[in-house]
């Protein structure tokens, strides 16, 4: 018969395991893109307070490792601050405080997008602080070099076109383009997507353990007045483009992306709502989920699918897609 640990010791062991996995993933070559997922596992499999304890332990362990590796240089400090920014932001997404100011207890989808916005804004000064040696800068340069290598391999079959265009594309040019896209909402979208995949990985792990305390994104409804914010952001983008005023265009793009992500989540919620209807056959529901996965793994089709879901979420401002069917006499719907 195996030794059964008391409940408190099991929770403490789970917290220690989650915090260690977070630091190991972040610093190792194994699944670095999912280094936040263990914190979500602590929140969904144990409790929100467990997630915050695991986050504090991960921050402490990462600080000790940074100091033992040579102290806090500019790049080391930037990497540690980036780690802390992402860990605290994700902890707020996965484990919102049950007490305190109401703005800390938004819906899960809103917390995800707001945390992504704060994290994306914080990355810019960290890039300046860390310089070219920081982990963020190195990662961006590797991505730029990868884009250049893929582009050059595509031109390899056409020597004439390669000679004409190959010299125009460099890693520095790609980095400049990436920077221009990043400050116009690209950093916000990529950070939100990064938080989302880590959250979903934690959700899957909580399913496997048959324990889950997560909030479901499938019931999300954006604020009705958000459509006016989106419309205003588009006008600001238009004005900034026409009059060549980046200080108008850049905030406008970020605000538009902020609204679009919320409508994207709402569009996905509508699809999940229809797939979860009990009258749908299990085989159809399973095939539909497989088709969705294939669509989002297709490089060009996934962009179209994201656009369609965003438009679907916007359309729900005028078409109430998620009205539950009444089995008895109709009643006045809730507002």
pLDDT digits (tens, 9 = 90+) for 143-157: 777 767 766 676 555
Greater pLDDT, 275 or 225: 225
**What's the confidence (pLDDT) of residue 162?**
52
Rounded mean pLDDT, 302-323: 91
Q: Is 222 exposed, middle or buried (0-12, 13-18, 19+ CB in 10 A)?
A: buried
Dist. CA 251–CA 262, nearest whole Å: 17
pLDDT tier at 300, thresholds 50, 70, 90: confident
Q: What are phi and psi of 316, to 5 degrees?
A: -70, -10
Give the residue among 289, 241, 233, 291 at the shortest CA–CA distance from 263: 233
Mean pLDDT of all residues belonging to the chain = 83
Confidence of residue 333 (pLDDT cuts 50, 70, 90): very low
pLDDT digits (tens, 9 = 90+) for 47-67: 899 999 999 999 999 999 988
Contact 61, 121 (CB under 8 A): no
pLDDT for 325 beyond 60: no
Residue 244 has pLDDT above 80, yes or no: yes
pLDDT at residue 66 in the model: 85
Say how far apart CA 139 and CA 316 lie, in whole Å. 39
pLDDT at 41 over 90: yes
pLDDT of residue 173: 82
Torsion angle of C-alpha atoms 234, 238, 240, 246, degrees rounded to 10: 60
- More reliable by pLDDT, 214 or 173: 173
Residue (of 167, 201, 164, 227) closest to 90 by Cα position: 201
How far apart, in whole angstroms, are the C-alpha atoms of residue 74 and residue 221? 43
Confidence band for 334, pLDDT divided at 50, 70 and 90:
very low
* pLDDT of the residue at 130: 64
Q: Is residue 120 within 8 Å of residue 114, measured between CB atoms? A: no
Residue whose C-alpha is closest to residue 45's, from 195, 209, 217: 209
Q: Find how far residue 257's CA is from the centre of its chain.
A: 13
Q: By the 8 A CB rule, do 39 and 17 touch? A: no
Task: State the Cα–Cα distance between residues 26 and 20, nearest whole angstrom.
Answer: 10
| Exposed/middle/buried for residue 150 (C-beta within 10 Å: 0-12, 13-18, 19+) | exposed
Range name among 42-46, 78-82, 207-211, 259-263 with the lowest pLDDT average: 207-211
* 278 confidence band (pLDDT: 50, 70, 90): confident
Tell me what pLDDT residue 210 has: 59
Least confident stretch, 21-25, 97-101, 228-232, 242-246: 97-101
Give the separation between CA 240 and CA 246, rounded to whole angstroms.
6
Of the candidates 181, 182, 200, the residue with the CA atom closest to the CA atom of residue 265: 200
| Weakest-pLDDT range from 77-91, 174-188, 318-332 | 318-332
Structure-token pair, residue 112:
């995800």
39: nearest Cα among 94, 117, 83, 84: 94
CA atoms of 328 and 214, how far apart (whole Å): 32
Q: How far apart are CA 9 and CA 16, in angstroms?
A: 10
Q: What's the predicted TM-score (pTM) here?
A: 0.85
pLDDT (0 to 100) of residue 3: 43
| Through-space distance between the first and last CA atoms of the chain, rounded to whole angstroms | 56
pLDDT reported for residue 158: 56
Torsion of CA 18, 19, 20, 21, to 10 degrees: 50
Q: What is the pLDDT of residue 141?
A: 76
pLDDT of residue 332: 40
**DSSP letters of 60-73?**
HHHHHHHHHTT---
Beta strands per DSSP E along 113-252: none
Per-residue pLDDT at 330: 43
31 pLDDT exceeds 70? yes
């Amino acid at each position: 018969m195996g030794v059964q640990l008391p409940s408190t010791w099991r929770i403490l062991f789970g917290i220690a395991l989650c915090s260690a996995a977070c630091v190991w993933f972040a610093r190792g070559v194994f699944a670095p893109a999912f280094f936040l997922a263990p914190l979500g596992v602590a929140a969904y499999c144990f409790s929100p307070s467990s997630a915050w304890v695991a986050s504090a332990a991960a921050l402490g362990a990462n600080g000790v490792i940074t100091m033992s590796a040579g102290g806090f240089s500019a790049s080391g400090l930037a990497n540690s601050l980036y780690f802390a920014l992402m860990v605290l932001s994700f902890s707020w997404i996965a484990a919102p405080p049950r007490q305190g100011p109401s703005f800390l207890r938004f819906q899960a989808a809103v917390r995800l997008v707001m945390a992504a916005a704060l994290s994306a804004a914080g990355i810019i000064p960290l890039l300046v602080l860390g310089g070219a040696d920081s982990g963020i800068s190195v990662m961006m340069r590797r991505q730029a070099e990868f884009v250049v290598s893929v582009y050059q391999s595509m031109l390899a079959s056409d020597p004439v076109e390669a000679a004409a265009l190959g010299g125009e594309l460099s890693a520095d040019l790609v980095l400049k383009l990436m920077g221009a896209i990043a400050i116009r909402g690209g950093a916000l979208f990529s950070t939100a997507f990064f938080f989302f995949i880590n959250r979903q990985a934690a959700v899957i792990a909580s399913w496997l353990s048959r324990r889950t305390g997560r909030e479901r994104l499938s019931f999300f409804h954006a604020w009705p007045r958000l459509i006016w914010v989106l419309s205003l952001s588009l006008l600001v983008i238009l004005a900034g483009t026409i009059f060549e005023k980046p200080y108008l265009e850049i905030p406008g793009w970020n605000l538009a992306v902020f609204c679009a992500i919320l409508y994207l989540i709402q569009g996905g919620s509508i699809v999940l709502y229809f797939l979860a209807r009990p009258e749908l056959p299990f085989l159809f529901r399973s095939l539909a989920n497989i088709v969705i996965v294939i669509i989002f793994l297709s490089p060009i089709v996934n962009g179209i699918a994201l656009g369609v879901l965003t438009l679907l979420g916007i359309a729900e401002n005028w078409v109430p897609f998620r009205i539950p069917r009444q089995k008895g006499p109709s009643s006045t719907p809730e507002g």
